[in-house]
Structure 1
Amino acid sequence: MRIVIQRVSHASVTIEGKVKSSIGRGYLILLGIGSDDGEEDIQWLVKKIIGLRVFDDANGVMNLSIGDVGGDIIVVSQFTLMASTKKGNRPSWIKAAPHSISIPLYERFCKVLQEAFGKPIGTGEFGADMKVELLNDGPVTICMDTKNKE
């Protein structure tokens, strides 16, 4: 699994002109799911997301977690994160999981994250043409890959 976490002042997901989810301060998380991803990847990412300290404390140091600041979360599925650009100029999506794998894993990821977070999270809609709007705060953008745990 690959994620891009963006610390935001606000974010929203709109589908067919209707707002599906919106948040104030928090995280917009873009989630890419590969064919070989599973429960272990979900557990590792959720633990990292909940513990990540990228919000400023009273001294202006990034030392607080999403829970510490009472933030919100939106998770949006994004198969394009699994792109391979090794050959040529047209990305290959061969590493992206098919719907039969990715939909249940996306739903499981959102459920586990919400349980660990302790409050509802916003989502997009898997496979929909979504308009994602955000105001990146910082900007702070963190990328994580469960196959390359750095």
Structure 2
Amino acid sequence: AGPTSRWHLSPFVSADYAHIDVDGYSEKGDRSTALTFSDQTRKSRRAGVGVQGKFQVTPSTQVWGEVAHEREFETDQQDVTMALNSVQSVGFTLQGYTPQRDLNRATLGVSQKLTQDLTLRGNYNWRKNDDVTQQGVNVALSLSF
């Protein structure tokens, strides 16, 4: 599409890296329910490809959409190790979160300029991995000043 076109289509690539450390901690007291948690570390390396597009319906109305596929490269299970404060020698480990390797997502939205400085936006989000499908709706009112 040219610079004066009402539509725009563009492919994209994305990359994310996250490293999160959570220090271990102990709940106060030695009641039977008080726990001590060990340190936890979570790393994430994610890459994605997709395409996004938009179309200018009227000078004040625009629709847009995006589809993408993402891959997580750090899929090790996150375990949580803990112990009862009342019996420190008896610790245990719980299986925690295991990230999914593949994620597909799509978004479809509309933007309506109500006045020169006020815009109403809404969109629908869909995300799907091996085990879970998530859907959401967002509405926003934006004021420029």
Q: Which has the higher contact order (CA 8 A, sep 6+)?
A: 1
Sort the TM-score into its range (normalised by shorter chain).
under 0.3
TM-score, normalisation: structure 2: 0.23
Question: Which protein has the bigger strand share?
Answer: 2
Q: Which entry has the higher C-alpha Rg, 1 or 2? A: 2
TM-score, normalisation: structure 1: 0.23
